[in-house]
Structure 1
Amino acid sequence: MQNLTITAKDKKHSHQLEPKSMAIYQQCRIIEATNELDQTCYIFFYKDHYLNYVTEKKTTKTHSYVVDSFKKGITLPPSHPLFMTVVSSHPNIKKQNFSDLFKKLQKQYTLQETALIASYFESFIKKAQLANFIQSLFYKERRDGKLLSCYRILRIMKDFAPKRSLVDAFSRDMDFTKYEDLYKQGDASLLDKDPIYMENKLYANQHNNQDFQALCKFYQAQDRLEDVIAVHITHVIYTQETSDYDALKFLIEEHLGGENMLPVLEDLYRRGLTIMSLQQDLLAAYMAHERLEDVLTLISKHELHLQPAQSKQLTRVVKQRGITTDSIPNEGLQELIRTLFAAKDNQATEILHQAIASLLNDHNLSYIQEWAQPFRAITLAEPTLQKIDEMNRIAEDPNQQRKLGELYHEFHHPKLAIECMSFDMELREDDPKPVQWLAKLYHELGMNAEYKAYQQLYVDMVKRG
Structure 2
Amino acid sequence: MKNALEWTLTDQTKKIIIQPKKMSIFQQCTLIECIDEVTNTHYLLFFYKNNFLTARPKTAYEPTSFLAQIETKGIHINAPSPLFSLSVHPGLSLQIIPFNQLLGQIKRHYSLAETALIFSYFDSYIPHVKLDKILKDFFFSYRRNGQLTAAYRLAMSLLARGYEQDWLLQSMKQPDYAKATKQYQYAPAALLSSDPIYVEQICFNDQRPENHELLLTIYTNEANNIHALMLNIDKWTKNPTRETYVDFTHTLSSHLEEDDVLSCLLSLQETVPVTSGLHQDLYERLTKKLKYQQAIQILLTYSFPLSSEQQNQLPTVFESVTLAHFDVPIKDMIKRMFALLKDQPILLERLVRSALPALFQSYDLASIHAWLHEANSKEVHIPILNKLNEMVALLDEPDKQMELGHHYFELAQYEKAIDCFNWELELQPNQQEPLQWLAKSYQQLGKTEEAKTYQQILSHMQGSP
TM-score normalised per structure 1: 0.80
| Structure 1 residues 34-60: Cα deviation after superposition (integer angstroms, max 9, x where no partner) | 445444432211012111122344x52
Letter in 1 for 2:80: S
Match of 2:53 among 39, 51, 54: 51
Task: Please list every run of 5 or more consecutive structure 2 residues that lacks an aligned counterpart in the other structure.
Answer: none
Highest Rg: 1 or 2? 1
Q: Report 1:388-427 matches (<5 A).
A: 388-397=388-397, 400-401=400-401, 403-413=403-413
Q: Which residue of 1 aligns with 2:15?
A: 14
Cα deviation, residue 195, structure 1? 1.1
Per the alignment, do residues 125 and 453 of structure 1 end up closer, same or farther by CA in structure 2, a change over 3 Å counting?
Answer: closer
| Structure 1 residues 179-202: Cα deviation after superposition (integer angstroms, max 9, x where no partner) | 211221348665412110121122
Structure with the larger RCO, 1 or 2 (CA within 8 Å, 6+ apart)? 2
Q: Which residue of 2 aligns with 1:97?
A: 98
Per the alignment, do residues 413 and 106 of structure 1 end up closer, same or farther by CA in structure 2, a change over 3 Å counting?
Answer: closer
Q: Which residue of 1 aligns with 2:179?
A: 178
Q: Which residue of 1 aligns with 2:352?
A: 352
Q: Which residue of 1 aligns with 2:27?
A: 26
Q: Is the 8 A contact 2:274 2:304 kept in 1?
A: no
Cα deviation, residue 421, structure 1? 6.9
Letter in 2 for 1:109: Y
Q: Larger deviation: 433-442 or 138-147? A: 433-442
| Structure 1 residues 162-209: Cα deviation after superposition (integer angstroms, max 9, x where no partner) | 4444542453333x2112112213486654121101211222232x22
Cα deviation, residue 420, structure 1? 5.9
Q: Is the 8 A contact 1:442 1:450 kept in 2?
A: no
User: C-alpha separation between the residues in 2 aligned to 1:266 and 1:394?
Assistant: 47
Q: Secondary structure at the match of 2:344?
A: coil
Q: Which residue of 2 aligns with 1:117?
A: 118
User: C-alpha separation between the residues in 2 aligned to 1:19 and 1:441?
Assistant: 50
User: C-alpha separation between the residues in 2 aligned to 1:170 and 1:366?
Assistant: 77
Q: Which residue of 1 aligns with 2:281?
A: 281
Q: Secondary structure at the match of 2:132?
A: helix
Percent of aligned pairs with the same amino acid: 24
Q: Which residue of 2 aligns with 1:335?
A: 335
User: C-alpha separation between the residues in 2 aligned to 1:322 and 1:198?
Assistant: 53
Q: Is the 8 A contact 2:20 2:84 kept in 1?
A: no
Q: Is the 8 A contact 1:148 1:179 kept in 2?
A: yes
Q: Is the 8 A contact 2:3 2:80 kept in 1?
A: no
Q: Which residue of 1 aligns with 2:228?
A: 228
Q: Which residue of 2 aligns with 1:463?
A: none
**How many correspondences in the alignment?**
454
Q: Secondary structure at the match of 2:368?
A: helix
Q: Which residue of 1 aligns with 2:71?
A: 70
Q: Secondary structure at the match of 1:75?
A: strand
Cα deviation, residue 131, structure 1? 2.8
Q: Larger deviation: 236-245 or 435-444? A: 435-444
Q: Report 1:432-447 matches (<5 A).
A: none
Q: Is the 8 A contact 2:3 2:79 kept in 1?
A: no
Per the alignment, do residues 119 and 431 of structure 1 end up closer, same or farther by CA in structure 2, a change over 3 Å counting?
Answer: closer
| Structure 1 residues 224-274: Cα deviation after superposition (integer angstroms, max 9, x where no partner) | 111110110121123334454323322333423222344423443444455
Q: Report 1:439-458 matches (<5 A).
A: none
Cα deviation, residue 64, structure 1? 1.0
Q: Which residue of 2 aligns with 1:260?
A: 260
Q: CA RMSD in A?
A: 4.0
Q: Report 1:136-215 matches (<5 A).
A: 136-159=137-160, 162-165=164-167, 167-174=169-176, 176-186=177-187, 190-206=191-207, 208-215=208-215
User: C-alpha separation between the residues in 2 aligned to 1:162 and 1:360?
Assistant: 63
